[in-house]
Structure 1
């Protein structure tokens, strides 16, 4: 790929400042103004706390990050038993979709809420919503109630796991999720030490994601899936107590002096609502078509697709002409690198979350002779979760050493594609070794991809657009997560229904097919012929889903190709003058 004419521009130094700070590859737009001397100068911190107070504050916030990561892999592991319990396995994908769609909706709001309610108020609101939704999941009397509870938890998850990337007081971080704790780290920790602290946060995230699957499977086997939600209560209470006790952070003068009206005006409510309406109606239309066997011509299905189109048009109009601080500024999306980064993150996130929610379903249909060689349910996702943490750290280390990211981006994308291709060929003869190892490149590659593309996004825009560009990256990423879970669920149910009808025929076949779709637990109790037909149908349906995952990863790779590489400076002696007058070329 040709190097941009701005390759040698000294404006790129802020990107490397944070890369040199930590292997966790954190970068901060706060470091973009540096004095003429070789050492960066930053204003003194507004908040000064003792070492003990700082530890308590970060422990309270980071326990929420740990819990959010833990919750995600726990729920992905429990989809099959939850669906079977309520006799609605065909609706199990809604559990993930409801949570992620809610996160997508509330993600842009929390950074502003942190300015309006204060850091403590915003975090307590997020923990309260997440905690109440999680506990309600444990007492859910029906699948519909559980789905609604997950949506409520997602309202808080948008604050625990994803802060507002557009906040000018927040670091542009290269970890897996842009956390509210990032704002507090910026408030509390000097610039030179932030990389270390963000690295510690990344470790907690990886730990939560890594143990969520195995522990969730163990809890389900011994106490039932409901207990997996109750087990999160102690961590929630710990985080809540520390936030109330210690988080008393003074906001910057620029924020404190703003009126409530000015703060609210910076929240793009209309843009968020129209975006969720666009995505939500589209996904609901596809989901109802497959899960409820409604025809394409059904008035309800047609109405949902028309509503999605209208919401989409409204979203574009709002972002272009109405919103003063749009969640997706269209002027940036028309530029080459921002567009390529956004689309690569969209398709990459679709594939990554489809893997997270559908690969555990494949394990449910592994033949007994292979199952016995896999000792702990959920543990099969552990190597994948560990690879996510290592991939992010490795990508930051490589960029620190080489000052380049383009080839690393392509390799990361190809690794994720390779993993999804390997999964396509799983069958009853697949060795247990492959069931553990084949998805590792998916986690490693995706972590590297989102790390390098965020650097590319920030390096491809002028300084004043860096925070907004970071926000766009996370917007496309969360939207991709929702699309990946929902569309893969719709594809799974559509192909499954077709395969079951072709393999199971005769008197009573319609009722039997309905029972198989609603609960996978009846499959072991079927006659050998019917059991084989049901398992083969699920295997065929999952294979189509895995093919879709590979296609999405390949599209992510194709969108990585147009990304322009701006060489990262490799020394602290380079000038830091930002070239604000060189906008990136627009797409024709």
Structure 2
């Protein structure tokens, strides 16, 4: 399935440089987009400057990983604090919806405002949303604040603009290794967020200093210049390059689709409910308008359709969508397994994600090293995808007799495989498009990845709630069943209630959760297998 098409020499270098810099024999790195030797370089960075740039960009990665796992762990306590446990899931979905809708927009903004301008905008929105979270006095205010934070998270804390900037500075063959270094910080943040999430009370107290550091370094050090023809454009010309209609229709397509799935899960509305069917219909209409705008109207489309008709970009997009669905389903449901089935505390439940986080760091770095050493990525991608299938299979066999060793180690292939997979497929996407499409192609990859994250949480939640309610109704029969009315079944689905139940109801709840989560894990196996099939058409672009 893989071809050995060798990319042009320009594809093997950093985006804005004429010749690969020697990182071992020179102190300064010249970066330029000019094809001629007589043209002065656009950018000149010392080794220290590059280190500062990477520190500023990557600190936002640590910020985002810590933020995400802390929020996942604190959903139940936050819901109890505001007496709105039924709306707690909106805290996560509102953020992910905003991330998903706004991520592709930063691809164009990075080419219009520059890397620094786009990154500062993203950090400002994320910081504002985080501050508003600390000031929120109601669940609705907190949900809105998380949505504002997600507008910035799509460009900053999810490492999107950082990936573009690294591609400006680092030759293609080495980008996988640098992506691996970024994922070390992601793994560190995710690993700390899980166990700390059980007792962190003030989110901004932890995130504030890191956010200020990242903003300051980006403002002072990330001075990556764009080509002269872009820099010298007037404000009107730059605004003309923004695909406003395409962006709005894309937000409508993705937002309505994901909101429909989220409401179906959290509010337990039937598929035929006017709100759910209306959102899906609006998504279809927005999608048709988006395709028409991108094909016939937009001079600078936010998502060029010609990229989505190419073999490698299409395969990378679909495979990232599917594997991200499974990965985030795993991240959100594993702590639930330990709190509802094993009756562990929130802190201990989050701690079980620590080996997974370590595996993310290790897998990404190893993937980068392999690509740098061999110049190939196709076999690495397939093996990484297979590891996610193995991990999903392992957790389906968890029961009350499973040893502690399995409960701690079975997640490692998932973290290892997923980190390696997203690293190799991102490099495959960058290597498979022209330089001028690199930022937009990176945005497409992150769009499908974040869409998969929201779908993974929403669809796994729908499966979980459907199976759970069915199993509870089946088990709570016989003596004492008169006490278990429909309202009682609903209260049992709040995990914090389970330890306070009488033994009969407690065992019924634990077994029902175990069955429902096993159904989710089996679904993850199927999704990972489809993701493996989707990545088969990816082309082997040798990285000499």
Establish whether TM, by shorter chain, passes 0.5: yes
Number of the residue aligned with 1:378: 350
Alignment of 1:28-47 (within 5 A): 28-30=14-16, 43=32, 45-47=41-43
- Structure 1 residues 135 and 272, CA, compared in 2 at 3 Å: closer, same or farther? same
CA deviation after TM superposition for structure 1 residue 459, in Å: 4.0
Residues 45-94 of structure 1: per-residue CA shift (max 9 Å, x gap) = 54556776665555444322321121122222223333444454454433
Asked whether the 8 Å contact 1:64–1:239 carries over to 2, the reply is: yes
Deviates more, 1:121-130 or 1:145-154: 121-130
1:532 pairs with 2:507: yes
Partner Cα distance (1:456, 1:184) in 2: 15
Report matched runs for 1:50-65 at 5 Å.
58-65=54-61
Q: For residues 76 and 185 of structure 1, what CA distance do their matches in structure 2 show?
A: 31
Cα distance per residue 1:7-65 (max 9 Å; x no partner): 254x35556x56xxxxxxxxx34458789xxx999536545567766655554443223
The answer to which of 193-202 and 404-413 deviates more is 193-202
**Corresponding residue number in structure 1 for 2:186:** 205
Aligned residue for 2:37? none
Q: Matched residue pairs, number?
A: 527
Matches of residues 126-165 of structure 1 in structure 2 within 5 Å? 126-162=122-158
1:537 Cα deviation (Å)?
2.3
Q: Secondary structure at the match of 1:447?
A: helix
1:392 corresponds to which of 364, 373, 379: 364
* Stretch moving more, 445-454 or 434-443: 445-454
Quick one: distance in 2 between partners of 1:60 and 1:351? 30
**Residues 464-475 of structure 1 aligned to structure 2 (within 5 Å):** 465-475=437-447
* CA 1:536–1:275: 2 relative to 1, 3 Å: farther
Residue among 254, 261, 266 paired with 1:279: 254
Of residues 193, 197, 216, the one that matches 1:216 is 197
Q: Cα gap change, 1:284/1:394 in structure 2, threshold over 3 Å: closer, same or farther?
A: same
CA distance in 1, matches of 2:274, 2:172: 57
Query: Does the CA contact (< 8 Å) of 1:84 and 1:521 recur in 2?
Result: no
Q: Using the alignment, how far apart are the partners of 2:225 and 2:436 within structure 1?
A: 25
Contact kept, 8 Å, 1:70 with 1:211, in 2: the verdict is: yes
1:316 maps to what in 2? 291
Mapped to 1, the partners of 2:229 and 2:414 lie a distance apart of 43
Match of 2:98 among 93, 97, 102: 102
1:306 and 1:395 mapped to 2: Cα distance? Answer: 41
Instruction: Write the deviation string for residues 211-263 of structure 1: whole angstroms up to 9, x where unpaired.
Output: 2222223x34xxxxx42443212222333444456666665533321122222
Aligned mates of 1:111, 1:455 — CA distance in 2: 16
Q: Which moved more, 1:413-422 or 1:293-302?
A: 293-302
Map 1:54-453 onto structure 2 (within 5 A): 58-114=54-110, 117=113, 119-162=115-158, 177-180=159-162, 182-183=164-165, 186=168, 200-217=181-198, 219-220=199-200, 226-244=201-219, 252-367=227-342, 371=344, 376-453=348-425
Partners of 1:345 and 1:192 in 2: CA distance: 21
Contact 1:83–1:89 under 8 Å retained in 2: yes
Q: In structure 1, how many angstroms separate the alpha carbons of the residues matched to 2:435 and 2:219?
A: 36
1:509 equivalenced with 2:485 (yes/no): yes
Q: Is the 8 A contact 2:103 2:443 kept in 1?
A: no
Q: Which runs of 5+ in 1 are unaligned?
A: 19-27, 163-176, 221-225, 570-588
**Distance in structure 2 (CA, Å) of the matches to 1:356 and 1:283:** 19
Helix, strand or coil: the match of 1:159? coil
Highest RCO, 1 vs 2 (Cα 8 Å, sep ≥ 6)? 1
Partner of 2:519: 544
Task: Return closer, same or farther for 1:544/1:140 CA change in 2, 3 Å cut-off.
Answer: farther
CA distance in 2, matches of 1:321, 1:302: 29
Q: TM-score, normalised by structure 2?
A: 0.85
Q: CA deviation at 1:341?
A: 1.8
Work out whether residues 159 and 179 of structure 1, in 8 Å CA contact, stay in contact via their aligned partners in 2.
yes
Per-residue CA shift, 1:510-543, capped at 9, x if unaligned? Answer: 22123233x3212111111111222222222222
- Asked whether the equivalents of residues 107 and 442 of structure 2 are also in contact (C-alpha less than 8 Å), the reply is no
Tell me how far 1:343 sits from its aligned partner.
0.9
Change (3 A) 1:93 1:546: farther
Distance, in Å, in 1 between the alignment partners of 2:374 and 2:311 is 24
Deviation string for 1:259-278 (max 9, x for gaps)? 22222233333333323322
Q: How much does 1:414 deviate? A: 0.7
C-alpha distance in 1, partners of 2:439/2:150? 24
Task: Trace 1:546-565 onto structure 2 (pairs within 5 A).
Answer: 546-565=521-540
Structure 2 Cα separation of the partners of residues 403 and 251 of structure 1: 28
Q: Secondary structure at the match of 2:482?
A: coil
Q: 1:434 to 1:199 in 2, by over 3 A?
A: closer
Pair 1:287–1:125, CA change in 2 (3 A)? closer
Shift in Å, 1:412: 0.7
Q: Distance in 1 between matches of 2:398 and 2:52?
A: 46
SS, match of residue 427 in structure 1:
coil
Q: Is the 8 A contact 1:328 1:472 kept in 2?
A: yes
SS in 2 for 1:378: helix
Are the aligned partners of 2:177 and 2:367 in contact in 1 as well (CA < 8 Å)? no
Q: 8 Å contact 1:460–1:566 — kept in the other structure?
A: yes
Per-residue CA deviations over 1:433-474 (Å, capped at 9, x if unaligned) read 122111111111112212222333344445655554333322
Does the C-alpha gap of structure 1 residues 305 and 111 become closer, same or farther in structure 2, counting only changes over 3 Å? closer
CA distance in 2 between counterparts of 1:196 and 1:410 reads 18
TM-score, normalised to structure 1, is 0.80
Measured after TM superposition, the shift of residue 348 of structure 1 is: 0.9
Contact 1:421–1:550 under 8 Å retained in 2: yes
